[in-house]
Amino acid sequence: MSGRLAGKRALVTGAAQGIGAAIARALVAEGARVLLTDLNGEGAAEQARTLSAEFGADAAISCRHDVTSEADWTAALALAQSAMGGLSVLVNNAGIGLGGTLETTSMEHWHRAFSVNVDSVFLGCKLALPLLRDSQPASIINMSSIAGIIAGAGMLPYNASKAAVWMMSKSIALECARSGWDIRCNSVHPAFVDTPILDAFRPHQKDHAETVGKLGAQVPLKRVGLPSEIAAGVVYLASDESRFMTGAELKLDGGISAG
């Protein structure tokens, strides 16, 4: 790798598997030190051990992290400060794929979607801001979805929560810019990506391969995305190559939003 992220210190939520694990690997491979966090603490720890064995003992650390908990955020950020010396990249990747229609979505279901997908991003950005200010140039990368831009029937909580992440990212970007801070904030909008969360979109399908095939048929490129392809976009947003990009949305959707 080219070392595009040498000297960067990053925190990636939801890093025990899927897109989060791929992002953590890509950041470490480009020279960043990474704190992997996840509600599945052991899963995050296993990913960190693997990365450290491959890239060096200081490459990755981990902690258990409920992203809806302010106390857990405070603890994770304190670890970033003590173990890595600060934070220059925040990747709010953790999320859940909850579907439902207007009639079938309960308030409990609605609040759960917003707690994990939206409140966590607000908490992370708010609480990490002092560390990011101390490590400028810095970058906040919030994982939204193409479903936050293009709605679909039966995905009301997911559509609404991911749209909130999109607009929150723009607002944070403008706040940072107008405050004179060199802190960028952008959102990433994948379409279907081959991770376990896909099964939430077609719960009636019993076979993951069948789910991947049928969802891929809806994409102009005729396939679903790979976690590594989303991670490549995050690497760009984390790097100084993107210092003139803020308040923007990076669509990695195989062409879905083009037509």
Domain boundaries, the chain: 9-190+225-252
CA atoms within 13 A on the CB side of 75: 13
**CATH value of 9-190+225-252 in 3.40.50.720, 3.40.50.11720, 3.40.140.80, 3.30.470.10:** 3.40.50.720
Strand partners, 36: 12, 62
Q: Which two tokens stand for residue 41?
A: 């603490």
Alpha-carbon 70 to chain mean position: 18
35 contacts 77 by C-beta, under 8 angstroms: no
Tell me phi and psi for residue 138, to 5 degrees. -130, 165
- Active-site amino acid positions: 158
pLDDT computed for residue 204 by the predictor: 64
Low-confidence ranges of the chain (pLDDT < 70): 1, 199-206
- Tens-place pLDDT, residues 52-78: 999 999 999 999 999 999 999 999 999
